[in-house]
């Protein structure tokens, strides 16, 4: 879910973006089918392991006989494969550079914590997807471009703020305030976030704040992998490094920025209770981060 949320954390002017009208990525996509099969790991054979679906996960980390990458990869694919199709039906990279989505704003996400360990069957997962209430997102909110082989996702922050606050609010003034905040140093931004969340301080490194702000200003550079009819847009270990790095904070506690961020958002009521499972997984991944061979996470799509 971290990667799906990142798609909504960018804003910049795309006047100098490369031409997209004839680009092979310019098409409509749906999520790859939710698929289960048999996988053996940690001396256990899972006959209903999630091996494909909305989320692309390639996590390689083994500690002796314990293949955490395989087992945790199944968990993440299961969560993505169940949750994302309930709110997002398709994504279109338009030839003019817009990103449009068919989404369900009224969908009530259904997810049981036990499904992270015992995933729903294909039939059970399909029954969770709404049959009504789908809408097409507005134009000129999100943009895409190719830069150095990456899919760079950006949002027009002014347009999004204007649509969110309504015609009676001063959207232009609010946009200027937001941009001024983004030009602040990491300490100032962390102080503002702490104030908004109603806490004294937040245990997130300056390094992570600077990376996220860079994505906001310049767009998120997603890696692209095309194989066997699938198109995967994702972030790799390099992009996740500052988030998952195991750190020792001022109070002596060891954790990671992403685990602390999930805890903060959960305590503030900004994440559903089901997200606690993702928080648990991120703690374990952070503990073994230095020995992780590969960590790739994003969306697994097929063209319509």
The yes-or-no verdict on residue 261 having pLDDT over 70 is yes
For residue 234 the two structure tokens come to 């994702």
pLDDT at 15: 40
81 burial (CB, 10 Å; 0-12 / 13-18 / 19+) is buried
Among the ranges given (116-120, 132-136, 169-173, 246-250), the one the predictor scored with the smallest mean pLDDT: 169-173
The yes-or-no verdict on residue 97 having pLDDT over 70 is yes
Q: What mean pLDDT is predicted for residues 189-212?
A: 90
pLDDT at 7: 39
> What's the Cα-to-Cα distance from 45 to each of 49, 66, 70, 277, rounded to whole Å?
9, 13, 12, 22
For residue 249 the two structure tokens come to 């904070």
pLDDT at 62: 80
Q: Give per-residue pLDDT as tens, 109-119.
A: 898 888 988 99
The set of long-range contacts for 106-109, using a CB threshold of 8 Å and a minimum separation of 24, is: 106/133, 107/133, 109/83, 109/272, 109/274
Q: What mean pLDDT is predicted for residues 80-94?
A: 96
Q: Rounded to an integer, what distance in angstroms lies between the CA atom of residue 220 and that of residue 240?
A: 12
pLDDT at 16: 41
State phi, psi for 186 to the nearest 5 degrees.
-60, -40
Q: What mean pLDDT is predicted for residues 194-212?
A: 90
Ranges assigned E (strand) in 169-293:
220-227, 230-235, 247-248, 254-255
Q: What mean pLDDT is predicted for residues 142-171?
A: 86
Angle at 261 between CA 232 and CA 274, to 5 degrees: 70
pLDDT at 3: 36
Q: Give the single-character DSSP code of 260.
A: H
Q: Rounded to an integer, what distance in angstroms lies between the CA atom of residue 142 and that of residue 88?
A: 15
Q: Give per-residue pLDDT as tens, 160-181.
A: 888 777 777 787 888 888 888 8
Angle at 86 between CA 80 and CA 90, to 5 degrees: 85
For residue 169 the two structure tokens come to 């609010």
Q: What mean pLDDT is predicted for residues 75-99?
A: 95
Q: Give per-residue pLDDT as tens, 12-30.
A: 334 444 567 789 999 999 9
For residue 113 the two structure tokens come to 């914590």
pLDDT at 2: 37
> What's the Cα-to-Cα distance from 261 to each of 21, 57, 60, 265, rounded to whole Å?
38, 21, 24, 6
At residue 158 the predicted structure's pLDDT band, cuts being 50, 70 and 90, is: confident
At residue 275 the predicted structure's pLDDT band, cuts being 50, 70 and 90, is: low
Among the ranges given (80-89, 97-106, 143-152, 248-257), the one the predictor scored with the smallest mean pLDDT: 248-257
The yes-or-no verdict on residue 298 having pLDDT over 60 is yes
Q: How high does pLDDT run on average in the chain?
A: 87
Q: Rounded to an integer, what distance in angstroms lies between the CA atom of residue 99 and that of residue 293?
A: 33
Q: What mean pLDDT is predicted for residues 30-44?
A: 93
């Amino acid at each position: 879910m971290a990667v799906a949320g990142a798609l909504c954390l960018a804003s910049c002017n795309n006047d100098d973006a490369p031409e997209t009208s004839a680009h092979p990525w310019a098409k409509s996509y749906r999520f790859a089918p939710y698929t289960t099969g048999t996988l053996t790991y940690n001396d256990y054979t899972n006959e209903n392991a999630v091996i494909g679906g909305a989320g692309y996960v390639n996590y390689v980390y083994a500690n002796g006989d314990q293949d955490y990458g395989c087992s945790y990869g199944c968990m993440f694919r299961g969560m993505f494969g169940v949750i994302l199709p309930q709110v997002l039906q398709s994504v279109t990279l338009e030839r003019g550079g817009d990103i449009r989505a068919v989404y369900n704003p009224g969908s009530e996400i259904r997810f049981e914590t036990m499904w992270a360990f015992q995933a729903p069957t294909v039939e059970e997962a399909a029954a969770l997807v709404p049959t009504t209430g789908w809408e097409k997102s507005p134009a000129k909110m999100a943009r895409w471009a190719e830069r150095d082989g990456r899919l760079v996702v950006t949002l027009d922050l002014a347009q999004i703020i204007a649509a969110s606050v309504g015609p009676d609010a001063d959207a232009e003034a609010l946009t200027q305030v937001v941009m001024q905040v983004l030009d602040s140093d990491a300490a100032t931004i962390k102080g503002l976030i702490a104030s908004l969340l109603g806490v004294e301080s937040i245990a997130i490194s300056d390094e992570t704040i600077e990376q996220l702000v860079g994505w906001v200003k310049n767009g998120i550079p997603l890696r692209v992998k095309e194989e066997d009819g699938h198109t995967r847009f994702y972030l790799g270990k390099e992009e996740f490094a500052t988030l998952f790095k195991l750190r020792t904070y001022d109070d002596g506690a060891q954790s990671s920025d992403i685990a602390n961020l999930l805890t903060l958002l959960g305590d503030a009521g900004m994440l559903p209770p089901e997200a606690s499972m993702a928080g648990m997984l991120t703690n374990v991944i952070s503990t073994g981060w230095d020995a992780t061979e590969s960590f790739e996470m994003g969306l697994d799509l097929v063209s319509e």
